[in-house]
Amino acid sequence: MNIEKGADKIVKTLRVLVTDQPGYLGRLTSAIGNERGNIGDIRLISAGLTHNLREISIYVDNESHLKRIVSAVSGVEGVSLEEVVDLVEKAHLGGKIAMKSRVPITSLGDIRKIYTPGVASICRKIQQRPELATMYTGIRNSVAIVTNGTAILGLGDIGPVAGMPVMEGKAVLFDHLVGISGVPILIKSKNIEHIIQTIWHIAPTFGAIKLEDIAAPDCFEIESRLAEMLDIPVMHDDQHGTAVVVLAALLNATRFTGVTLSDVTVGIIGLGAAGIGITKLLLAHGVKQVIGTDLNESAKEMLNSLGGTATDLSGVMNDAEIVIATTGCPGLIKPEMVRKGQIILALSNPDPEIRPEVAMAAGAAFAADGKSVNNALAFPGIFRGALDAGATAINKQMLLAAARAIAEHAGHGELVPGILDANVHAAVSDAVFKAAWDSGVAQP
């Protein structure tokens, strides 16, 4: 599995003054270990005549666990706890993104070229030939990351502003992985018409629209109608980005276990945006039997309308060789529900329906969570390829091509490759670019 150390734990940093004599640092680390704290990096910040200032990263289960460790550290002779630093909070201070100029300004002449009076000639060119905007502006390399905050991660309806850190994170990944300018757009509305009209009116600013963390069933109508109204790609990432990475993982998992994906029964637990998106792509790939369950009866009806079969939780666990969970309900899948040889992808973040190691211990052939089977493997390359092709839409052919590219770049024994592998995103981009041209949605 591609699961990072301490993935299910909270990371904190202890800033401590430690007596600069033999034994004191050892007593400190022993105190942390005695309270089941997992130690990461130990960094020397500064060295004094009698004490050294160090930062020690620790992985803890929860705030109560942290308090026990802090209490133990505070009782160690010759050690003074100066501060407990939350590295996640520190990384978010001031926000994670900023708009930067791509051109240097060192003189008044530079300003005259990029602003008045020089910019007027460029405006006139675009007025006369609107297609030149792709050459003379950043529109074609910009993607709107739009949310109304109704389905943020596994946290639910927490509002657009509370969801902004997620949108900023997506923008960071766009920039770092494929060089796209992602711009968060927060919409304070749950009215479908308001959302659609808002996006339609701002669409000329962007080369594509990425819908993010908008709850089902509204997300389906919003995406569908915008795709018809706009001549640029529109993709709801929770549906299609997730689906692409899940398909990639299953292509490898079934290859490892020697079964044919199209012949097995796939069970979906949770038929929201991700669950329905996964269902659509699996059926497009050729999977013949998809069963699923949800607390919402209308979601079950949607599954039936797509060609799947609605059942209940026990039905999925008893009848499916592959189980995919996207419920946002930690611990929903109990170890005793797991059948020997099943493939289980428990994808809710930040906490999965069952932890991969628990599922494996219960008999699963393969198991992974949303930290490894993550849509960040898909959306950067999908949008890069679509923008480069001048695509008017993102279709199933492009999504299937992306899934195959991801699967092909996984290492030996891995379901999916690492998110930071630049070769993966380049391969996805190339595959999507080719599929856009082959399927007739690309334009120069």
Residue 26 within any structural domain of the chain: yes
Domain boundary among 237, 252, 270: 237
How far is it, in rounded angstroms, from Cα 237 to Cα 381? Answer: 12
Q: Interior CA angle at 64 toward 82 and 14, to 5°?
A: 25
Burial of residue 93 (number of CB atoms within 10 Å: 0-12, 13-18, 19+): exposed
Is 392 within the bounds of a domain? no
129 domain residue, yes or no:
yes
- Where does residue 8 rank: exposed (0-12), middle (13-18), buried (19+ CB within 10 A)? middle
Strand order in the sheet with 181-186: 181-186, 142-147, 208-211, 234-236
- The answer as to whether 193 is a domain residue is yes
Query: Is 59:40 a contact under the CB 8 Å cutoff?
Result: yes
User: Is residue 290 included in any domain, yes or no?
Assistant: no
Same domain, 207 and 154: yes
**Is 15 in the same domain as 27?**
yes
| 119-163 pLDDT, tens digit each | 999 999 999 999 999 999 999 999 999 999 999 987 889 999 999
* Shared-domain flag, residues 131 and 146: no
Judge whether 280 counts as a catalytic residue.
no
What's the CATH number where 66 sits? 3.30.70.260
Give a yes or no: residue 127 inside a domain. Answer: yes
Q: Are residues 98 and 153 in the same domain?
A: no
Omega of the bond leading into 417 within 30 degrees of 0 (cis): no
Query: Rounded to whole angstroms, how far apart are CA atoms 98 and 176?
Result: 13
pLDDT in tens, 249-289: 999 988 888 888 989 999 999 999 999 999 999 999 999 99
pLDDT at site 264: 94
Q: Give the pLDDT score at 5.
A: 37
Considering the domain boundaries, does residue 323 fall inside one?
A: no
Please list, in sequence order, all residues whose beta carbon lies within 8 angstroms of the beta carbon of residue 68, skipping any fewer than 6 positions away: 35
Domain region containing 223: 142-237
pLDDT digits (tens, 9 = 90+) for 297-311: 999 999 999 999 999
Task: Respond yes or no: is residue 334 known to be catalytic.
Answer: no
Average pLDDT, the chain: 93
Which positions ≥6 away from 339 have C-beta within 8 Å?
317, 318, 363
- The catalytically annotated residue of 59, 67, 113, 170 is 170
Which one from 12, 24, 100, 115 is the annotated catalytic residue? 115
Residue 143 forms beta bridges with which residues?
182, 208
Please give the structure tokens belonging to residue 403.
């899934």
Q: Could you give the angle at the alpha carbon of 73 between the alpha carbons of 68 and 78, nearest 5°?
A: 165
Token code pair at residue 195: 């959302």
Total tally of structural domains belonging to the chain: 3
pLDDT score at 414: 86
Residue 116 shares a structural domain with residue 69: no
Confidence of residue 8 (pLDDT cuts 50, 70, 90): low
Q: Is residue 259 part of a domain?
A: no
Among 237, 257, 279, residue at a domain's last position: 237
Instruction: Examine the fold and report which residue of 32, 60, 92 is the final residue of a domain before the chain moves on.
Output: 92
Q: Kindly tell me if the per-residue pLDDT of 7 is higher than 50.
A: no
Rounded Cα distance between 267 and 246, Å, is 13
CATH number at residue 220: 3.40.50.10380
